[in-house]
Structure 1
């Protein structure tokens, strides 16, 4: 693979597993120094041990002080962040009637506030370098909403709104902002949700898994590498005109 990102510093939140790790590995393979963040140090260390281009950093995106200090530490170690991937998030369904304010606020704190804080802290380096690529890992739930998951859908809609606002704010510069909107991806989140759906619906786990599989238009789970392949286009040498867009990765038209 071309080393077209040689010398770039990328930061990927939730970079120890799943989509985040796949994107981080892609960036490292192209020459970037990649800071991967998350709340579980052991998971990050394991991912970094398998790839010398990854650098682990324990950071909680829902905690402003943690993000401010974490990004500052990453910049001190590896220079300005010019590729920011706001990937960290949670996915949990709960109907409106069963949702309390604590559930709502936790969803927003991690999925939306976390993206805002991460990008805010990375933006200065992009402006100083006059080049930057920001990718928000959203969801098809950010475009059409998911039944039984209004809080999750709202958080991803908010993320896309943030992306679109930033793309307009920095229009004309060499900073771009885009969102990936995958369907159900074969990650730990789907594994956890399988049991949750089974419990709520009173069905067995395999039936619950098939409910998610059938939501994807091509009737299979998406791989993390398929999402990373789209991310690769958004940071590549000819990506300057890819800006303010949502990219559906759902196996067909939604």
Structure 2
């Protein structure tokens, strides 16, 4: 893997930051994409090797083209793509607006599709490539109050499976990593939403999320990064949804 070119979206913090640092530690050159340049700089400061900071809003229609083109000018084609950018939304069905729905689809489904679509031709030509999408345990099951988020994650898992089937004989693997509740800023936002809507304390809200996982705790970003690295390192695993949720989905 030494000196292969990787691209990680959502690399500014949380899971994406940990994935970027893990790939860098394994010897890859890592292009870091997120909206916040300062957050990307902090990610880069913790990487072991060469990085490229590329601030971008992945929901913009031309973002995938612009990001890939910049990487290609400097390092060559992307060989490892990790689509880690994402966000959640919680509301009752009747309070989920069209804008809420579209925002979840744009970020969690359409953006990964565009980045995968842009990466595939060079990978196919090279006869080698790794694509990993950070999905969610919500890609498998439905829970109350997260209809838009769940629909987007179900959709992106369908994208992964279809792309894996199409590319199976090309040397390109496509997998999803499906975390449960991870100890990240996104989960902190979920806790704040629970507090605001239920009157529970932050400690009670956090404990409720921990109880959703049989191991009784939140997943760490490093544990998700381990699963991503497994998908990158393996040539025989493709079309899979790797659950990192403490046994919640079996």
Q: How would you bin the TM-score normalised by the shorter chain?
A: over 0.9
Alignment match, 1:72: 69
Name the count of aligned residue pairs.
Answer: 248
Q: Note the alpha carbon deviations across 1:224-254, whole angstroms, 9 max, x for none.
A: 0001111111111xx1110101111111252
CA distance in 1: counterparts of 2:140 and 2:123, whole angstroms = 28
- Give 3-state SS (helix, strand or coil) of 2:30's partner: strand
Moved more, 182-191 or 41-50: 41-50
User: Aligned equivalents of 1:214 and 1:75: distance in 2?
Assistant: 45
Q: Aligned Cα RMSD in Å?
A: 1.1
Q: Aligned partners of 2:75, 2:92: CA distance in 1, in Å?
A: 43
Matched, 1:248 2:240: no
Deviations 1:125-152 (A, max 9, x none): 2112110010010000000122210100
Match of 1:137 among 91, 110, 134: 134
DSSP-derived class of the 1:56 partner:
strand
- What does 1:116-127 align with in structure 2 at a 5 Å threshold? 116-127=113-124
Structure 2 counterpart SS, 1:134: strand
Deviations 1:37-90 (A, max 9, x none): 000111101221332433211111110112211221112111110100011001
Q: Which SS does the other structure have where 1:111 is aligned? A: helix
Matches of 1:223 and 1:53 in 2, distance apart? 25
Confirm or deny: 8 A CA contact 2:7 2:80 kept in the other structure: yes
Aligned partner (choices 35, 48, 58) of residue 31 of structure 2: 35
Provide structure 2 residue ranges, at least 5 long, that are not aligned to the other structure: none
Moved over 4 A (4+): none
Q: Structure 1 residues 179-188 or 91-100, which shifts more?
A: 91-100
Distance 2:240 2:63 in 1: 29
Following the alignment from structure 1 to structure 2, what is the Cα–Cα distance between the partners of residues 207 and 98? 25
Question: Is 1:213–2:198 an aligned residue pair?
Answer: no
Q: Helix, strand or coil for the counterpart of 1:64?
A: coil
Residue 145 of structure 2: aligned partner: 148
2:232 equivalent among 228, 231, 235: 235
Q: TM-score, normalised by structure 1?
A: 0.94
* TM-score, normalization by structure 2: 0.96
Match of 2:50 in 1: 53
Gaps of 5+ in 1: none
Residue in 2 that maps onto 1:92: 89
